[in-house]
Amino acid sequence: MLAGSRVLLGVTGGIACYKSVDLCSRLRKAGAEVRVVMTESATRFVSALTFQSISGNPVATDLFATPAQSAVEHIWLAEWGSVAVVAPATADILGKLAHGIADDYLSTVLLAFAGPALLVPAMNRLMYAHPAVRASLAALEGMGYAVLPAEYGHLAEGVSGWGRMPEPPAIVERLQALVAEGRAPRPGLPPPAPRDLAGVGVVITAGPTQEPIDPVRFISNPSSGKTGWSLAEAARERGAEVTLVAGPVAMADPPGVRVVRVRTAVEMAEAALVAYEACEVAICAAAVSDFRPAAAAPEKIKKGAQDGLELHLVRNPDILAAMGERKGRRVLVGFAAEAGAGPEEAERKRAAKGADLVVYNDVRRPGLGFGADDNAVVVVGAGGLREALGPMPKRELAHRILDRVVMLRRGQ
Ligand code: C5P
């Protein structure tokens, strides 16, 4: 997960900073590129040269040193990083960051850094318990920073208490999870998504299917997979363990999501129903071909002299209906792309297939639906539920649909 990441490792002046040398080495072993930024006091504990050797990159300490990369080196560095971790994070850096103070290299880089950032506080137990430090940590969490809390244990002053820095493997693990989540503090953006699907297994079908006619031709449709992708990313953001069963689409795997690529409806049904067994939520967003050629011709079909061609089609398995038959306590959501029929048709499908919700959309509306980034839908559910949503970006729509899923899980 950290392979290919560019990690900014901030080291501040706490006795635990000797452990950050090991952390730096572990990050590199995990495949990350690491650049270290040290505060002046951190250099009193461990030399910059140590971190330079372990990270394989120059170490930044002095804001006013001759720049190597750019005239505004700290901004270059903030843009270089894909994820940041400050370990140990002393009361000083937490207070500065919580209040937007940038008076040295590290505080300046952190303020300019827009990616996911993990803070690992470590300090004396009395300092850690101080209301000002608690307030800084709470404020930073509210801004979207991830915090790996200090642990209870033996402290440098000879007593035990809360304030010990977690061991480097635990820090690497938390950082990996953060990279998978992609949550980042950014002023002006909406607050991070709620973690109300933490640990919940969610299977999502997405994209079209292709039903081969011969080796070079197939039956398909213009589904882009964007709706399924948005749902997978949104569910992942909320902490779900997502399996995305995707037909042929051009998009790269969303980070932190298990992706199973398939081609035909039969393959999609097989993969989705296996994943379904271990899931609590299923969302069928794929545009599955209802029919497939009874048998694909083994070789490319030639025109010859004939003036027509008959294809014999057979029904494909209905994945949503199969899930409905063995729903148990799961929450099951389908989609109904209609070109003319209204939400009542979606309600008919919902009842027939045993789903909790069906998301109705009218595919004839220009600029919305198939292939577009935005959509407008009506969420149809039992008891006459009709919730009109949008037009809005598919990602936002995904969150609104997941809000409904969470409500159903809570029995609301
Ligand atoms: O009946 P219709 O195809 O309109 O139903 C749409 C819903 O059923 C969608 O959620 C779609 O993903 C699902 N479906 C399926 N397998 C099929 C056909 C549709 O899961 N073979």
> Which atom of ligand 1 lies closest to the CA of 323?
20
Q: Is the CB of 349 under 6 A from ligand 1?
A: yes
> Which atom of ligand 1 lies closest to the CA of 358?
10
What's at 25, amino acid-wise? S
289 and 347 part of one domain? yes
pLDDT at 190: 54
Question: Which residues 6+ apart lie within 8 Å of 230 measured at CB?
Answer: 393, 394, 395, 397, 398
Report how far ligand 1's centroid is from the alpha carbon of 321 (Å). 8
Q: Which of 147, 181, 215 is the last residue of a domain?
A: 181
pLDDT at 79: 85
Which of 70 and 137 is assigned the larger pLDDT?
A: 137
**Pair 74, 105: CB distance under 8 Å:** yes
Q: Is the CB of 60 under 6 A from ligand 1?
A: no
**In-domain check, residue 194:** no
For residue 278, with 0-12 CB atoms within 10 Å meaning exposed, 13-18 middle and 19 or more buried, which class applies?
A: exposed
Which of 245, 313, 319 for mutating ligand 1's site (highest number of atoms within 8 Å of CB)? 319
d(CA 245, CA 317): 15
106 and 64 part of one domain? yes
Nearest CA to ligand 1 atom 6: 336
pLDDT at 183: 67
Which of 219, 288, 362 for mutating ligand 1's site (highest number of atoms within 8 Å of CB)? 288
Report how far ligand 1's centroid is from the alpha carbon of 353 (Å). 9
pLDDT, averaged across the chain: 92
Report how far ligand 1's centroid is from the alpha carbon of 206 (Å). 11
**In-domain check, residue 196:** no
**In-domain check, residue 275:** yes
Q: What is the pTM of this model?
A: 0.61
Query: Which residue bears the tokens 């300092």?
Result: 127
- Domain harbouring 265, CATH code: 3.40.50.10300
Q: Is the CB of 234 under 6 A from ligand 1?
A: no
For residue 188, is pLDDT > 50? no
**In-domain check, residue 61:** yes
175 and 280 part of one domain? no
Tell how strand 281-284 and strand 201-206 pair up.
parallel
- Domain harbouring 13, CATH code: 3.40.50.1950
Q: Is the CB of 350 under 6 A from ligand 1?
A: no
Report how far ligand 1's centroid is from the alpha carbon of 89 (Å). 51
Report how far ligand 1's centroid is from the alpha carbon of 212 (Å). 19
Report how far ligand 1's centroid is from the alpha carbon of 375 (Å). 18
**In-domain check, residue 93:** yes
Q: What tokens were used for 381?
A: 């559910």
Q: How many CB atoms lie within 10 A of CB 134?
A: 12
Report how far ligand 1's centroid is from the alpha carbon of 315 (Å). 12
Which of 210, 221, 270, 335 for mutating ligand 1's site (highest number of atoms within 8 Å of CB)? 335
Q: What long-range pairs does 256-263 form, CB within 8 A, spacing at least 24?
A: 256/1, 256/179, 256/180, 256/181, 256/182, 257/232, 257/233, 262/209, 263/209, 263/210, 263/212
Catalytic residues: 221
> Which atom of ligand 1 lies closest to the CA of 338?
4
227 and 175 part of one domain? no
282 and 239 part of one domain? yes
What's at 385, amino acid-wise? L
Q: How many residues does the chain have?
A: 412
DSSP lists the bridge partners of residue 387 as 379
pLDDT at 185: 66
165 and 207 part of one domain? no
Domain count along the chain: 2
Q: Is the CB of 21 under 6 A from ligand 1?
A: no
Q: How many CB atoms lie within 10 A of CB 315?
A: 9
pLDDT at 69: 57
158 and 229 part of one domain? no
DSSP lists the bridge partners of residue 120 as none
Q: Is the CB of 292 under 6 A from ligand 1?
A: no
pLDDT tens for 205-264 read 999 999 999 999 999 999 999 999 999 999 998 889 999 999 999 999 988 899 999 999
155 and 237 part of one domain? no
Report how far ligand 1's centroid is from the alpha carbon of 310 (Å). 25
d(CA 405, CA 130): 40
Q: How confident is the model at residue 142 (pLDDT cuts 50, 70, 90)?
A: confident
Q: Is the CB of 333 under 6 A from ligand 1?
A: no
For residue 163, is pLDDT > 70? yes
**In-domain check, residue 188:** no
pLDDT at 304: 87
404 and 304 part of one domain? yes
pLDDT tens for 332-371 read 999 999 988 999 999 999 999 999 999 999 888 776 666 6
Containing structural domain, residue 279: 201-409
Q: Is the CB of 335 under 6 A from ligand 1?
A: yes
pLDDT at 192: 62
222 and 292 part of one domain? yes
- What percent of the chain shows pLDDT beyond 90? 75
Q: Is the CB of 359 under 6 A from ligand 1?
A: no
**In-domain check, residue 381:** yes
Q: Which of 181, 209, 235 is the last residue of a domain?
A: 181
**In-domain check, residue 1:** no
- What percent of the chain shows pLDDT beyond 70? 94
Q: Which of 181, 215, 246 is the last residue of a domain?
A: 181
For residue 282, is pLDDT > 60? yes
167 and 274 part of one domain? no
Q: Is the CB of 288 under 6 A from ligand 1?
A: yes
pLDDT at 268: 98
162 and 34 part of one domain? yes
